[in-house]
A and B are shown apart, each in its own frame.
Chain A
Amino acid sequence: MALFNAALGATVARPLRGSEAARLLLWRNVMVYRRAWLVFITGFLEPVFYLLSIGIGVGAMVVGFEYAGRPVDYREFVAPGMIAASAMNGSLLDATFNFFFKLKYNKLYDQMLATPLRTVDIAIGEILWNQLRSGIYVTAFLLIMVAMDLVHSWWAVLVVPAALLIGTAFGAVGMALTTYMSSWQDFEKITLAMMPMFLFSATFFPVTAYPGWLRWIVELTPLYRGVVLCRDLTLGVPSWGALVSVVYLLAFGAVGLVVVRRRLDKLLLT
């Protein structure tokens, strides 16, 4: 091979360093969204609309409830739920529909693997892009919360990395599941997992609305862990529950990543 390259007088493609590979993928995504900048900008609006509608419109009629031993305004209660839910929704959309399209129809990754990029670079690069994007959205949402006087503690700053953690965990698992899908119809299963979590993971009402055993199930869902984490941070009442959430989400994401890497090797390299 070396002889062949030397004979052609071409430069031998050296393996890219991980950071270079990630940068290339990030740059590709920036190029893609440059044409759809309006789509990019409006991406953060959905949770804001939910906050205004459910938080304020419905909140005006809600009897207050307690959180961490003190009365909490309904808007303050819903807002962190929206952050966690939109971190999940956003990263899952990218990691499932878009990822499937690139993997199966666009053959994007097959093309990339013809270059010095490796499957692990692809997985990491896509996740980094996801994080960059959700980081921007979460920061914007947090600023809106500050403007609406919903934030009273510096702990709230940590909600940005917390949302990134949620996004990464769901993104990795979403990508892992997507590698097993054969048609668009299979995505109904993703919807079937995502939508009840969005509605029932104590996003809109406290977990005390459930009877004992059901409450346990809800508390075990990854989105509920994310919601607790964000809520503790924006309300400024960090707890052990939040720490458990961090460990849970890290493990959830790590498993997803390992599976993605192995599946991509199997799908693209054999």
Chain B
Amino acid sequence: MRTATPPTAPSGTVAGALRMWDYWLTVLARTWKGGVITTFVTPFFYVLALGVLLGGFVQADPATLEGADSYLAFVAPGMVAAHAMTIAFSEMTYPVYGMVKWQRIYFSMIASPLTAAHIVLAQLGFLMLRTLFACGVFLLVLAPFGVFESWWGALVAWLVQGLVVLAFGTPVLLFSLSIKGEESFALIFRLGMIPLTLFSGTFFPVANLGPVLEKVAMASPLWQGVDLTRMLALGEIDWLAAAVHVVYLGLLAGVCWWLAVRRLGERLVS
């Protein structure tokens, strides 16, 4: 039998975050069933209803569909990116708020040698793994529909979802750490998530919005993610645009990450 070693402070942020792996594994083991339908069945139904059935009534012209030769091929990558965003919203709202306000789990974490930076990294790491798993399944479901131009495009598109989820996960995390009451979530869903999903080029080309609103839609982080995913899926890559998307999403994630760590520190220590 080993003798218990005295608790030590973790040597780095990653080491600290990894101290929580068993906690997050337990969370996953206890909650994955609750998310099966929303994670796997919902996207499949959306593809079937809007992509295949409604798509049957859509005039498929690559000139108006950003290079896609069917509506399904156009809408599928958009739905994947929108799905990553949805997971970010669902994981970073009520669950995070509960950790601060109801179950106060963050408080017990901070009572150990862990710091806010460790907690945020572990939380986002969990989010990212969950998203990559869900989006991976989504992409596999889509593959037989013949909507991907190349296997490597689909593979990179899959990895891009990790970036997309961070670009949404970190601002939403920041939001959840900053609000006073859970009523605010209804607003962020209605005024944030739903309009983003519907007007960011997911279901129709942003060009259909007219010249002014098109620019507004292009500023939305979801459009950045959707366009990046779509270019990879359709194999029509504008490398400059792709680089802009990556930098945009990366900057958004980085800044909000930093702010979230600070905010969590304030909230837990004050």
Contact = CB atoms under 8 A, between A and B. Distances in A.
Interface of A: 35-36, 38-39, 42-43, 45-46, 49-50, 52-54, 56-58, 60-63, 65, 184-185, 188, 191-192, 195-196, 199-200, 204-205, 209
> Among the interface residues A43, A46, A58, which one has the most CB atoms of the partner chain B within 10 A?
A58
A46 B190 contact: yes
A138 B198 CA distance: 21
B183 A58 contact: no
Contact of B37 (A53, A63, A184, A191): A191
B-side interface mostly: helix
Contacts of B208: 56-57, 60-61
Interface string B177-203: 000000100110011001100110001
Contact of A57 (B34, B191, B195, B209): B209
B190 A192 contact: no
B53 A205 contact: yes
Interface residues of B, number: 34
B203 A188 contact: no
A42 B58 contact: no
B204 interface: yes
Given A42-B187, A49-B195, A209-B56, A60 B34 contact: no
B71 interface: yes
Nearest to B206: A57
Given A46-B194, A192-B37, A199-B45, A58 B54 contact: yes
A188 B36 contact: yes
Interface in B8-48: 33-34, 36-38, 41-42, 45-46, 48
A204 B54 contact: yes
B220 interface: no
Interface string B56-87: 11110000110000010000000000000000
B50 interface: yes
A60 B203 CA distance: 11
B198 A53 contact: yes
A199 B46 contact: yes
B49 interface: yes
A63 B57 contact: yes
A191 B54 contact: no
- Secondary structure at the A interface, as helix, strand, loop or mixed, is helix
Nearest to B71: A61
B112 to A, nearest CB: 29
Contacts of A199: 45-46, 48-50
Which one of B54, B56, B195, B203 has the highest number of Cβ atoms from chain A below 10 Å of its Cβ?
A: B54
Contact of A58 (B38, B48, B187, B204): B204
Given A49-B194, A188-B36, A195-B42, 20 more contacts: A36-B183, A36-B186, A42-B187, A49-B199, A50-B198, A53-B198, A57-B198, A57-B199, A57-B203, A58-B58, A58-B204, A62-B59, A63-B57, A63-B58, A188-B34, A191-B37, A191-B42, A199-B48, A204-B49, A205-B53
Contacts of B65: 61
8 contacts: A54-B203, A63-B57, A63-B59, A185-B33, A191-B37, A192-B41, A200-B45, A200-B53
Contact of B191 (A45, A50, A52): A45
Nearest to A190: B37
Contact of B59 (A38, A54, A61, A196): A61
A194 to B, nearest CB: 11
A184 B33 CA distance: 11
Given A49-B194, A53-B204, A62 B57 contact: yes
Nearest to B46: A199
B38 A188 contact: yes
B34 A185 contact: yes
A35 B183 CA distance: 9
